[in-house]
Amino acid sequence: MTERLAELSALREQAARGPSARATEAQHAKGKLTARERIELLLDPGSFTEVEQLRRHRATGFGLEANRPYTDGVVTGWGTVDGRTVFVYAHDFRIFGGALGEAHATKIHKIMDLALAAGAPLVSLNDGAGARIQEGVSALAGYGGIFQRNTRASGVIPQISVMLGPCAGGAAYSPALTDFVFMVRDTSQMFITGPDVVRAVTGEEITQNGLGGADVHAGTSGVAHFAYDDEETCLSEVRYLLSMLPSNNRENPPSLPCADPADRSGAALLGLVPADGNRPYDMRKVIEELVDDGDHMEVHERWARNIMCTLARLDGQVVGIVANQPQFLAGVLDIEASEKAARFVQLCDAFNIPIVTLLDVPGFLPGVDQEHGGIIRHGAKLLYAYCNATVPRISIVLRKAYGGAYIVMDSQSIGADLTYAWPTNEIAVMGAEGAANVIFRKQIAAAGDPEAMRARMVKEYKSELMHPYYAAERGLIDDVIDPAGTRAVLISSLAMLRTKHADLPARKHGNPPQ
């Protein structure tokens, strides 16, 4: 037994050490950590339990039978983050470049099945060269099993993909199926066809980072939700995100003790938001004034910047906030903003996170590109997401809320539980100037002084249909509130809604607009 234990210890040490010191040095030279170093940063110290450490592939041909390293290029297991169970798999680029073969895929399948059975989050640390070409179609089938499990777990457990190296071809579809994608600048890339193929087919010259780097996917394509400069910061932020999410869809997000008073006055809001609807301001500062300690985690911060989606806490309870951002495109809804917000609303609804919507929206962005790009179809995604959501929903109109965009942004008519407005609100079909030009077109044209008549008609329209209490008088909002008391109103309203229950009609699933 002693000899056997010594043999086992030696095998474990060999598996943990990896292929060679030279391979480790090469990984570090690229500014990248090893798979085990990454797991140590992600999980609580000493909490990692590895699964199938001694697994080796059984493939033959092309020299594979003479190269059978332990782990087969992926480290799998579970541990804890802030004491809560989290499952993880990490590609080891030192072994076969992290490429996926049959045994490699089987290990990932098992850990995904365990995560779903245990009802705990799954984090993938991706650093692989795609399918192991030497194993042919068996490797491709392995990806199919991953995609199927990603889909089965969607909306059941949080799935987080952390891109820490290359991810090309079909391999990129697993991260795309998960809830969140993190990337690291300069070291991680994602693309379906690489620069060489692009050059051969289109003649375009482009680098890997220019084609699918972190900044491209965080700011242009919207594939990445978060991008950071180094792995340590990235993994620290993954831990922070996990602290805001429940372990599964049967639980509520974890609450924390809160030292920030629930009735703290937000008098600063009076100076942050101009009464003039045409003047921009930073919605981020409004959110920081409302939430606990001004702390929040913005999702897709650099993509579709005319709308904000962020996770925060109010009195220690996690909330998702959707807010128009007047600093960019005046806060209008366009194709990308609609997609971004719709996905976020669906995520919050799947994981029992109440939704707070802050409105200051002039409408949908007009233009041929938007119409031909399918703004009707994409805007309907946001409408569908809100209408389908059963979590507590509260909306607040800060300033303007015009036309269809007002309805889509969680108005009372599509099911918001509570709707409030500040005294600066303007809820209408369109702005007063545009409305006056339509309604009083003939009078303005016939007037001796058309501009004076237009100004008079605009004033008349505002006084009749756009005063701050018009919607309240008709029961379309529940109350007009003092901006300084917004935090207290939100916290008390969410406390009342905490036990909300909604029954949905029996169906296999809906058919949302695509």
pTM of the model: 0.92
For the CA atoms of 209, 215, 221, 227, what is the dihedral angle to 10 degrees? 120
* Residues spanned by the domain of 379: 268-425+468-497
pLDDT band at 435 (very low <50, low <70, confident <90, very high): low
- CATH number for the domain harbouring residue 144: 3.90.226.10
Share of the chain above pLDDT 70, in %: 97
266 as an active site residue: the answer is no
pLDDT score at 260:
95
Beta carbons within 8 Å of 132's beta carbon, 6+ residues apart: 59, 96, 99, 100, 101, 104, 139
Tokens of 156: 């059941």
pLDDT band at 49 (very low <50, low <70, confident <90, very high): very high
What distance in Å separates the CA atoms of residue 409 and residue 477, rounded to the nearest whole number? 13
Identify the H or E element spanning 3.
helix 2-17
Report the Cα–Cα distance between both ends of the chain, in Å, rounded.
Answer: 61
Residue 428 has pLDDT above 90, yes or no: no
Share of the chain above pLDDT 90, in %: 66
pLDDT band at 436 (very low <50, low <70, confident <90, very high): low
Comparing 112-116, 221-225, 250-254, 452-456, the range with the smallest average pLDDT is 452-456
Q: Establish if 119 belongs to a structural domain.
A: yes
Q: Establish if 507 belongs to a structural domain.
A: no
Nearest CA among 395, 400, 433 for reference residue 277 = 400
Nearest CA among 88, 126, 86 for reference residue 217 = 126
Q: Establish if 510 belongs to a structural domain.
A: no
What distance in Å separates the CA atoms of residue 363 and residue 431, rounded to the nearest whole number? 9
For β-strands 84-91 and 74-81, DSSP reports them as: antiparallel
pLDDT score at 432:
65
pLDDT score at 118:
98
Angle at 488 (CA atoms; ends 392, 502), nearest 5 degrees = 10
Residue 333 has pLDDT above 80, yes or no: yes
Per the model's pLDDT, the better-predicted residue between 179 and 103 turns out to be 179
345-396 pLDDT per residue, tens: 999 999 999 999 999 999 999 999 999 999 999 999 999 999 999 999 999 9
- 97, 155, 169, 222: the catalytic one is 169
Task: Answer yes or no: do 389 and 311 share one domain.
Answer: yes
Q: Establish if 196 belongs to a structural domain.
A: yes
- Final residue before a domain boundary, out of 211, 244, 277: 244
The Cα-based distances of 304 to 223, 386, 484 in angstroms read 12, 19, 29
Task: Answer yes or no: do 435 and 364 share one domain.
Answer: no
- 136, 170, 374, 415: the catalytic one is 170
User: Cβ distance 272 to 360 under 8 Å?
Assistant: no
404 as an active site residue: the answer is yes
Burial class (CB in 10 A: 0-12, 13-18, 19+), 509: exposed
Residue 125 has pLDDT above 80, yes or no: yes
25-37 pLDDT per residue, tens: 988 999 999 999 9
Task: Answer yes or no: do 191 and 309 share one domain.
Answer: no
- 222, 373, 403, 404: the catalytic one is 404
pLDDT score at 459:
75
Task: Answer yes or no: do 361 and 459 share one domain.
Answer: no
145 as an active site residue: the answer is no
What distance in Å separates the CA atoms of residue 122 and residue 116, rounded to the nearest whole number? 8
What distance in Å separates the CA atoms of residue 254 and residue 316, rounded to the nearest whole number? 9
Task: Answer yes or no: do 307 and 338 share one domain.
Answer: yes
- Final residue before a domain boundary, out of 174, 209, 244: 244
Comparing 158-162, 183-187, 317-321, 510-514, the range with the smallest average pLDDT is 510-514
Chain-wide mean pLDDT for the chain? 91
User: Cβ distance 125 to 88 under 8 Å?
Assistant: yes
What is the length of the chain?
A: 514
Task: Answer yes or no: do 146 and 163 share one domain.
Answer: yes
145-198 pLDDT per residue, tens: 999 999 999 999 999 999 999 888 878 999 999 999 999 999 999 998 888 888
Q: Establish if 261 belongs to a structural domain.
A: no
Task: Answer yes or no: do 150 and 29 share one domain.
Answer: yes
Per the model's pLDDT, the better-predicted residue between 430 and 41 turns out to be 41
Q: Which residue has the tokens 């600048």?
A: 185
Rg (CA), the chain: 26
Average pLDDT of 55-75?
Answer: 78
Task: Answer yes or no: do 175 and 89 share one domain.
Answer: yes
Q: Which residue has the tokens 């030192």?
A: 94
170 as an active site residue: the answer is yes
For 282-372, where are the alpha helices, taking DSSP H only? 283-290, 335-350, 368-372
Nearest CA among 112, 104, 119, 95 for reference residue 146 = 112
Beta carbons within 8 Å of 177's beta carbon, 6+ residues apart: 147, 150, 151, 154, 159
In the chain, the number of structural domains is: 3
Task: Answer yes or no: do 213 and 329 share one domain.
Answer: no
pLDDT band at 238 (very low <50, low <70, confident <90, very high): very high
What distance in Å separates the CA atoms of residue 230 and residue 162, rounded to the nearest whole number? 12
Task: Answer yes or no: do 463 and 479 share one domain.
Answer: no
The Cα-based distances of 434 to 357, 430, 440, 447, 453 in angstroms read 26, 7, 10, 18, 14
Tokens of 380: 């309907």
Q: Establish if 263 belongs to a structural domain.
A: no
Q: Give the HSE-up count for residue 250: Cα atoms under 13 Å, Cβ half-sphere.
A: 6
pLDDT score at 503:
85
Q: Establish if 404 belongs to a structural domain.
A: yes
- 90, 129, 405, 421: the catalytic one is 405
Task: Answer yes or no: do 75 and 116 share one domain.
Answer: yes
Task: Answer yes or no: do 224 and 338 share one domain.
Answer: no
Tokens of 407: 């309805």
For β-strands 159-163 and 122-126, DSSP reports them as: parallel
Average pLDDT of 262-266?
Answer: 94
